[in-house]
Structure 1
Amino acid sequence: MFDIGFLELLIIGVVGLLVLGPERLPKAARTLGLWVGRIKRTVSGMQREINAQLEAEELRQKLNEQQKKLDEGLERVKRDVERTAEPTPREAGRQGDEPEGVAAPAPSAEERLDDALSRARLPDDQDTDAHKDSAAR
C-alpha cells in the first residue's frame, strides 16, 4: 500500500514519543496497529468479493455462450429433420389428390417396392403376363 522505510518509521516514533510521552505511546502504537490490521482485512475482503463477482460473471458469460451454441445446434438438427421429413415431388403429387387440410399417409415399403418394380418391369415380364392371361382363357 504505502512504501514506508525505516527512516520514516523512526521519525514517526520520535514525534510520537515527544507528543504522547513514554506512558501513552505503547497503548497508542497498539491501537494504531489494530486499526491498520482491520483496514487491511477489510480491503482484502473487498478484493476477494470483487474477484469472486468477476469470476461468477465470467462463468455466466461462458454458460450463456454454451447455451447459445446448444440452441443453435438444436435448431440446425430440427431444420435437418424437418427437411428430410418433407415429401418428395412424387409423394407431393399424391398428396395433392387428398382433400385440403388432410395429409396423405406416406407410402409403405411394399407400395414403394411395387411402384419401383412396375417402373423397372422388362418387356419379357410383360410377355409372360400376356401368356398367363391367354393361358387362363
Structure 2
Amino acid sequence: MFDIGFTELLLVGIVALLVLGPDRLPGAVRTAGLWIGRIKRSFSAIKAEVEREIGADEIRRQLHNEQILDLEREMNAAKQKLNAPLSSLGETPPATDTRSQDKNQQP
C-alpha cells in the first residue's frame, strides 16, 4: 500500500529510539499498534458494510429483472393465445397504427 521496505522501517525505529528513548519506546509502539489495529478493524467493517450493500443492490436488480422477464413471458403467452385462432383461419391480425387513429379523432 505505502511501499515501505525493511530499511525504511529500520530507519524509523532508530529515529524513534533516539527521540523517545528506551524507556518510552515500548509503550509508544504498543499504543501505535493498538491504533493501527483499530483503524484496520474500522476499515474492514466499512468494507464489509459496502460489500453487503452492493450485494443487496445486486439482488434487488436481479429480482427486478426477473419480474420484467416474467411479465414479458406472460405477454408473449397472451399474444400467442390471441394469434392462435387467427392463424388456424389463415388470417393475420390487423396492424394497429395509433398515429392514423389519432388523426381521425382530432377535429
Q: Would you call these one fold, judging by a TM-score over 0.5?
A: yes
- Give CA deviations for 1:107-130 in whole Å, capped at 9, x if unaligned: xxxxxxxxxxxxxxxxxxxxxxxx
What's the counterpart of residue 13 of structure 1?
Answer: 13
What's the counterpart of residue 62 of structure 2?
Answer: 62
TM-score (norm 2): 0.69
- Please list every run of 5 or more consecutive structure 2 residues that lacks an aligned counterpart in the other structure: 87-107
Alpha-carbon distance, 1:83 to partner:
5.5
TM-score (norm 1): 0.55
* SS state at 2:42 partner: helix
**Bigger Rg, which one:** 1
- Measure, in 2, the Cα distance between the counterparts of 1:80 and 1:35: 67
Percentage identity across aligned positions? 45
AA partner of residue 39 (structure 2)? I
- Displacement over 2 Å in runs of 4+: 75-86
AA partner of residue 49 (structure 2)? E
What's the counterpart of residue 49 of structure 2?
Answer: 49
Alpha-carbon distance, 1:73 to partner:
1.3
- Measure, in 2, the Cα distance between the counterparts of 1:8 and 1:33: 18
What's the counterpart of residue 28 of structure 1?
Answer: 28
Out of 35-44 and 22-31, give the one that drifted further.
35-44
Out of 26-35 and 41-50, give the one that drifted further.
41-50
* SS state at 1:72 partner: helix
- Give CA deviations for 1:75-127 in whole Å, capped at 9, x if unaligned: 232344455689xxxxxxxxxxxxxxxxxxxxxxxxxxxxxxxxxxxxxxxxx
Q: Relative contact order, CA 8 A, sep 6+: which one is greater?
A: 2
* SS state at 2:45 partner: helix
Aligned length: 87
AA partner of residue 10 (structure 1)? L
- Measure, in 1, the Cα distance between the counterparts of 2:47 and 2:3: 20
- Please list every run of 5 or more consecutive structure 1 residues that lacks an aligned counterpart in the other structure: 87-137
- Measure, in 1, the Cα distance between the counterparts of 2:15 and 2:40: 24
Counterpart mapping for 1:110-129 below 5 A: none
